[in-house]
Amino acid sequence: MKIHEYQARDLFFKYGIPVPNHVLCHTVKEVEQAMDKIDHLVVVKAQVLVGGRGKAGGVKLAKNKAEAVQAAKQILGMDIKGCTVEKIIIADAADIAKEYYVGLINDRNSKSVTLMVSAEGGVEIEEVAKTNPELIHKFHINPQTGLLDFQARNMAMKLFKDVKLARKAADIFQKLYRIFLDTDSTLAEINPMVLTPDNEILAIDGKMNFDDNALYRQPELLAIREVDEDEQKEIDAKEKGLSYIKLDGNIGCMVNGAGLAMATMDMIKLYGGNPANFLDIGGSSNPQKVVDAMNILLSDKNVEAVMINIFGGITRCDDVARGLITALETIKTEIPIVVRLSGTNAAEGLALIKQTGLPTVSTMSEAAQKAIELSKR
C-alpha cells in the first residue's frame, strides 16, 4: 500500500519531523479560500501515488494568490504517468540551500532495515544511484538495538560537517525509523530533505510504502487507503479465493499452487517470454474459480496469450476443464490459449478441452513455448 505525500507529511508531523504546513485542496475554489489566509511563497503540488511529479510539471512555486490559482488550474486534472491529479497541496515553500536524500528500505541481502542517505538528493537521485552509487551511504540497522544515537549521527555526519546540523538530521533519521517500524513500512523516503539558509532542516517530500500483509493490524492506514486499478484487481481476486499479482509481460498465467505458478513464470522467462501475472487458483476444484480467474486475467489489456498450467492433485483436471469451457462461453475472447493438464483426471480433462479446439500440450515447457509463439501472431 502507498500513501500520498500529504499523508506522509501528516505522519512526519505526528512524529516530530520538521515539515512545512500545508492545506489539501480538491478544487480551484478551495485554493482561493486557502490563499486568502496566506501571504507568502507557497508550493503547489500534485498529489498522486507516483513519483517524478516535479519533472512532470506537477510541482510549482507561487508568490501570491493569483499565481497559486494559476498553478492549481494547470495541475488539477493533469495526467502524471497515467494518474489523474484530483487533489493538490498548497504548502509553505521552503527556502532551499541544499537538497538531501534520506531513505529506509527492507534490504533482503542484509536481512535488515537499511538507512540510505545522500548529499545528492532531489529529483535526480535515481540517476545518482545508477551512475554514482558510492555517493549513497548505507547503514544496516540491527533490529535488536534499533538505530542508536551515535549510529544516526555517524550517518548524518556524511551529509553535514557542522555537528549541530548533524544532530538535527540524526534526529530525523531516528524518527523516520520509528515511523517505519510502527507502520509496518517497506519503504520510507524523504527526498528531498532540505537545509534552509537559516540552518533549519525540513522534510519537503515524503514517500511511504507499507506491507499489505500487515494491514490487518494497521487500522489507521486501512482507513486512509486508496487503491489503484491494479491493486483493486488483486483485492477482488483475494475475495474470490485467488492470489493474483499483475506483472508487466504479455503471457497471462493461470496455475494451481503458488510453487507451480512461480515455476510457470520462470519457464516463460526461460524461453524468452514475459509473464503478465502471477495467478494461483488454489487447491479446490471449483469451476467458478476458473471463470473468475479467466475474467481477472483477461481484463489485463497487455495479455496476448494465456498459458493454463494445472497439476491435478486435489484439484481435478476435468473440473478445471469444465470451468474453463464455462468461462470461455461467457467471455468470448480472441486471445489464444494453451492448456497443459497433468495429474488427477488429466486424460478426462484433456478430452473435454480437445472438443473446444483449444491447443493442449502435455509438458510445461511445451506450454510455455506454445504460449510465447501464440502471443507473437
The binder of ligand GDP chosen from 99, 280, 304, 319 (CB under 6 A): 99
10 Å Cβ neighbour count for 334? 4
- Residue 274 annotated as part of some ligand binding site: no
Judged by CB under 6 A, the chain residues 6 through 45 that form the site for ligand GDP are: 43, 45
Contacts 24+ apart (CB under 8 A), 60-65: 61/93, 62/90, 64/35, 64/39, 65/32, 65/35, 65/36, 65/38
Please report whether residue 68 would count as binding ligand GDP according to CB under 6 A.
no
User: Of 59 and 281, which has the nearer Cβ to ligand GDP?
Assistant: 59
Please report whether residue 215 would count as binding ligand GDP according to CB under 6 A.
no
Tell me the residue type at 11.
Answer: L
d(CA 261, CA 155): 42
Please report whether residue 47 would count as binding Mn ion according to CB under 5 A.
no
Q: Which three cell numbers stand for residue 34?
A: 486557502
Q: What single-letter DSSP state applies at residue 216?
A: G
The 3-state DSSP class for residue 45 equals strand
The binder of Mn ion chosen from 99, 171, 205, 280 (CB under 5 A): 205
Strand residues in the chain grouped as ranges (E): 22-25, 42-46, 59-62, 79-80, 83-84, 88-92, 98-107, 112-118, 136-141, 185-195, 201-203, 206-210, 243-246, 251-255, 277-280, 305-312, 337-343, 360-361
Residues 247/275, Cβ–Cβ less than 8 Å: yes
User: Of 93 and 119, which has the nearer Cβ to ligand GDP?
Assistant: 93
Tell me the torsion sign for CA atoms 102, 105, 115, 179: positive
Please report whether residue 280 would count as binding Mn ion according to CB under 5 A.
no
Please report whether residue 99 would count as binding Mn ion according to CB under 5 A.
no
Return the one option of Mn ion, ligand GDP, none that residue 18 interacts with (CB less than 5 to 8 A, by type): none
User: Of 124 and 162, which has the nearer Cβ to ligand GDP?
Assistant: 124
Tell me the torsion sign for CA atoms 214, 216, 220, 222: positive
Q: Tell me, yes or no, if 101 is annotated catalytic.
A: yes
Please report whether residue 94 would count as binding ligand GDP according to CB under 6 A.
yes
User: Of 191 and 285, which has the nearer Cβ to Mn ion?
Assistant: 191
Q: Tell me, yes or no, if 189 is annotated catalytic.
A: yes
Annotated binding site for Mg(2+): 191, 205
Annotated binding site for ATP: 45, 52-54, 94, 99
Which residues contact ligand GDP by CB under 6 A?
43, 45, 51-54, 59, 93-94, 96, 99, 122-123, 191-192, 204-205
Annotated binding site for substrate: 256, 313-315
Mind telling me the catalytic residues?
101, 189
Which residues contact Mn ion by CB under 5 A?
191, 205
